[in-house]
Amino acid sequence: MLLFLEQLLNGLQLGVMLFLMSAGLTLVFGIMRVINLAHGSLYMVGAYVAATVFLHSGSFILGLLAAITAAGLVGMLVELLVLRRLYGRDHLDQVLATFGLILFFNELTVIIWGRQPLFMDVPDLLSGTIEVIPGAPYPSYRLAIILAGILVAAFLYLLFNHTRLGMQIRAGASNREMIAALGVNIKLLNTLVFGLGALLAGLAGAMAGPILAVESGMGESILILTFVVIVIGGIGSIRGALIAALMVGMVETLGGFMLPALLRLFLPAATADGAGASLASMSVYMLMAVVLVLRPHGLFPVHD
Amino acid sequence: MRGFIVTAALAALCSISGNIVASAPVKIGMVTTLSTKAGYLGEDIRDGFRLAMDLEGGMLGGVPVELLVDDDGRDPGKGKQIAERFMQRDGVKIMTGIVFSNVAMAVVPKVVRDGVIYISPNAGPSALAGKGCHENYFNVAWQNDNLHEAVGQYATDSGFQNIYLLAPNYPAGKDALQGFKRYYKGNVAGEVYTKLGQSDYAGELAALRAAKPDAVFFFLPGGMGINFIKQYAQAGLNKEIPLMGPAFSFDQRLLKAVGDAAVGVVNGSQWNHDLENDANLLFVEAFEKTYGRMPTLYASQGYDAARLIGSALKQVGGDLSDMSAFRAALRKADFASVRGAFKFGSNQHPVQDIYVREVVRTEAGDITNETRKKVFANHRDAYAAECAM
């Protein structure tokens, strides 16, 4: 039972991380209709910048701020230089171009930082463990990630539902020609939205730095799950991204832990572990398949 | 230029003394992994190999050699192409360099059948040590299971009774745990296979804590290992349950990325920079001076591969027309290995000592490995008996 609760926390933490990634991606996909495979690269930029600033200044907060600034700027630059030319084009062109960006950014990090993964530590304040659930010490840094995710979700809720900018973004997601006709500068809006998405990816990358290896290509592993999240949540929907990210986080974590245990009931241990591990890595995709059968446009479709 | 002068000088010397030395340098083809995240492995193998050549002024065993290097990008198909080109276009008779077992399996059986001598500086898949052994295939590093076996023996010797095992869900992961269990006699608290390339181990760590093992053995190469060790420490587990693994997650470059989280971890290796023998002292000092960084075990293997080739070239005077003489010379392993005693077993794989090391923070503040004890003396791999040679 203790273990189960702890795994719930782990699932929540993964879900929060996925939410930060998918919130930006779903906006870009929903509003600009662009498939941006390079979203994971912005996550990597965040992690690299955070680790570098952390290494030189010793301050985690400074690293975090530098990371989101850098990722936001890089994101807007990419929008201006590359993506802007792709809005009217076929999805295949966009996939090709943004895949090229992935290769570009991966090589760029190798050129700038070398092949050696960077080191980044958790801030001293959060280096310990806390017994949120009595008997199961939980790393306080991971709790901080959960907290940060909740704050970002609240911020996005306020931004989208209670500001003029948010209203325009939502309007852009449902009908972009109409709001352009109404005199909203859709080009500027696109750049801003892209910058916001990049900033969130950078934040996710910076927060992942102390947990994961900061290395070239680190964005790709989370990118796939991020796409699963936005497809389940409904493309363009922030609310959908939040719910779907938590679902995927839970399924991914609990699947890896419960499936082998379940299979052990009627299979020999070694077979059960092997099969369980394989099934667990499929579980997220099975979830996606089920959701798409029941609701072909995702849980919270924006376009019908 | 320097190589040219040396060659010219040597040629002049030969014409005076009347010795028969091949005038063109002996070509050695190195197929290795220089790009991708694992590129630093090939880089170190290459640099170790080059160092041995540089120390002799572009020669190995007194014979001028030319090293051809190409990057396989960790891709078996590409490795095969490069090997093909080395053989067809360059007429290479000696090859080395492959980092990964899957690339080795695609390249090695083919080239050794075609009469090329292959010296493995890293990969040692069981298939090539057992039934698939070949007179042209030599492994100067280890059979893949060796380092895991050493940790298994260490766990048994240290009286651990209940160990939790963790490896990625792919063939090398399963082999690793198999190798460990060959020498570990206690109870297995849990055997977990994670996804290949997994980055977050929170779920596994929670389950691990609940299983209450008295130690953990893990094999997670590359970035996976960095992630796991950091998260293990963040969960506070490094203070409660000792962690152990093969040397692959604890080379000098990875340690830099892991930091303090790795301190105290015990790992099995056939080499360490603090092994006290003359060859090693010379190697470590020259490597640091030349490249400005500490050598890894991969660099030591590249260096030994070059020195092994050098010892054999010396015996045949650089003449590769009689391959059986060259093979016999290689089989003697008449060189001072940086790991001390070294010889080949019947399947031309190493018979060597294997140690456990512990990750420590030095007084200067660096994080590095310190040799703790010798676990195996003259250790042979488990597949030699299956090799009919």
CATH number at residue B158: 3.40.50.2300
Radius of gyration of chain A (CA): 20
Give A 217-236 residues with CB within 8 A of chain B: 217-218, 221-222
Q: Does some domain include residue B94?
A: yes
Q: Is B256 found in the same domain as B154?
A: yes
Q: Is B278 found in the same domain as B262?
A: no
Chain B positions in Cβ-Cβ contact with residue A118 (cut-off 8 Å):
257
| Residue B3 pLDDT exceeds 70 | no
B360 alpha-carbon distance from chain centroid? 22
Burial class (CB in 10 A: 0-12, 13-18, 19+), A42: buried
What integer pLDDT is reported at residue B18 of this predicted model?
40
| Residue A14 pLDDT exceeds 70 | yes
What are A250's two structure tokens? 């839970």
Report, as an integer, the average pLDDT of B272-300: 95
In this complex, which of A221, A257, A277 lies closest to B193 when CB atoms are compared? A277
| Residue B183 pLDDT exceeds 90 | yes
Chain B positions in Cβ-Cβ contact with residue A122 (cut-off 8 Å):
234
Q: Is B363 found in the same domain as B257?
A: yes
Closest by CA to A21, choosing from A233, A284, A203, is: A203
What integer pLDDT is reported at residue A303 of this predicted model?
62
Q: Does some domain include residue B316?
A: yes
Whether B195 sits inside 8 A of A121 (CB atoms) is: no
Whether A256 sits inside 8 A of B204 (CB atoms) is: yes
Interface test with A, best of B71, B175, B200, B252 (most A CBs within 10 A): B200
| Residue B316 pLDDT exceeds 60 | yes
Whether B37 sits inside 8 A of A217 (CB atoms) is: yes
What are B218's two structure tokens? 């893990």
The residue length of chain B stands at 389
pLDDT tens digits along B117-155: 999 999 999 999 999 999 999 999 999 999 999 999 999
Is the Cβ of B351 closer than 8 Å to some Cβ of chain A? Answer: no
> Cβ distance A231 to A288 under 8 Å?
yes
Q: Is B250 found in the same domain as B280?
A: no
Alpha helical stretches, state H, A234-300? 238-264, 269-294
Give B 213-242 residues with CB within 8 A of chain A: 222-223, 226-227, 230-231, 234-236
In this complex, which of A118, A127, A257 lies closest to B203 when CB atoms are compared? A257
> Cβ distance B348 to B139 under 8 Å?
yes
Q: Is B340 found in the same domain as B236?
A: no
Is the Cβ of A55 closer than 8 Å to some Cβ of chain B? Answer: no
What integer pLDDT is reported at residue B6 of this predicted model?
52
**What pairs with residue A219 in β-bridges?**
none
pLDDT tens digits along A138-166: 899 999 999 999 999 999 999 988 999 98
Question: In the structure, what pLDDT confidence band is assigned to residue A221 with cuts at 50, 70 and 90?
Answer: confident
Q: Where are the beta strands (DSSP E) in chain B?
A: 26-32, 59-60, 63-71, 94-96, 117-120, 137-139, 162-168, 187-194, 215-218, 243-246, 266-269, 342-344, 350-361, 367-379
Q: Does some domain include residue B388?
A: no
Is the Cβ of A40 closer than 8 Å to some Cβ of chain B? Answer: no
Q: Is B310 found in the same domain as B204?
A: no
> Cβ distance B99 to B42 under 8 Å?
yes
| Residue B1 pLDDT exceeds 50 | no
In this complex, which of A3, A256, A277 lies closest to B210 when CB atoms are compared? A3
Whether B206 sits inside 8 A of A10 (CB atoms) is: yes
Chain A positions in Cβ-Cβ contact with residue B202 (cut-off 8 Å):
10, 13-14, 142, 253
| Residue B365 pLDDT exceeds 50 | yes
Alpha-carbon span B386 to B127, nearest angstrom:
10
Smallest CA–CA separation between B236 and chain A, in Å?
A: 7
Q: Does some domain include residue B40?
A: yes
Q: Is B46 found in the same domain as B174?
A: no
DSSP state of A214: B
Q: Is B138 found in the same domain as B283?
A: yes
Report, as an integer, the average pLDDT of B32-52: 90
What integer pLDDT is reported at residue B17 of this predicted model?
42
The share of chain A scoring above pLDDT 70, in percent, equals: 99
Closest by CA to B125, choosing from B153, B151, B100, is: B100
Contacts of A151 (CB under 8 A, 6+ apart): none
Whether B200 sits inside 8 A of A212 (CB atoms) is: yes
ipTM surpasses 0.90: no
Among A3-12, A199-208, B20-29, B146-155, the range scoring the smallest mean pLDDT is B20-29
Range of the domain at B224: 146-269+354-383
Q: Please state the pTM of the whole predicted model.
A: 0.83
- Give the chain A residue whose CA is nearest to the CA of B198: A221
Give A 272-301 residues with CB within 8 A of chain B: 273-274, 277-278, 280-281
What are B360's two structure tokens? 């420590």
Report, as an integer, the average pLDDT of B235-255: 92
Is the Cβ of B157 closer than 8 Å to some Cβ of chain A? Answer: no
What integer pLDDT is reported at residue B171 of this predicted model?
80
Is the Cβ of B44 closer than 8 Å to some Cβ of chain A? Answer: no
Give A 160-199 residues with CB within 8 A of chain B: none
Alpha-carbon span B296 to A139, nearest angstrom:
32
What integer pLDDT is reported at residue A153 of this predicted model?
93
What are B321's two structure tokens? 């027309």
| Residue A34 pLDDT exceeds 90 | no
Q: Is B129 found in the same domain as B255?
A: no
Among A191-195, B15-19, B302-306, B367-371, the range scoring the smallest mean pLDDT is B15-19
Q: Is B311 found in the same domain as B219?
A: no
Chain A positions in Cβ-Cβ contact with residue B254 (cut-off 8 Å):
117
Chain B positions in Cβ-Cβ contact with residue A214 (cut-off 8 Å):
257
Q: Is B297 found in the same domain as B182?
A: no
Report, as an integer, the average pLDDT of B274-286: 96
Q: Does some domain include residue B330?
A: yes
DSSP state of B212: -
| Residue B20 pLDDT exceeds 50 | no
Burial class (CB in 10 A: 0-12, 13-18, 19+), B239: exposed
Q: Is B255 found in the same domain as B172?
A: yes
Is the Cβ of B192 closer than 8 Å to some Cβ of chain A? Answer: yes
Report, as an integer, the average pLDDT of A2-30: 90
| Residue B16 pLDDT exceeds 90 | no
Whether A274 sits inside 8 A of B169 (CB atoms) is: yes
Q: Give, to the nearest 10 degrees, the angle between helix A164-174 and helix A186-208.
A: 100
Neighbours of A70 (CB within 10 A): 23
**b/e sequence B50-78, b meaning 16+ C-beta within 10 Å:** bbbbebbebbbbebbbbbbbbbbbbbbeb
Is the Cβ of B361 closer than 8 Å to some Cβ of chain A? Answer: no
Q: Does some domain include residue B389?
A: no
Smallest CA–CA separation between A117 and chain B, in Å?
A: 6
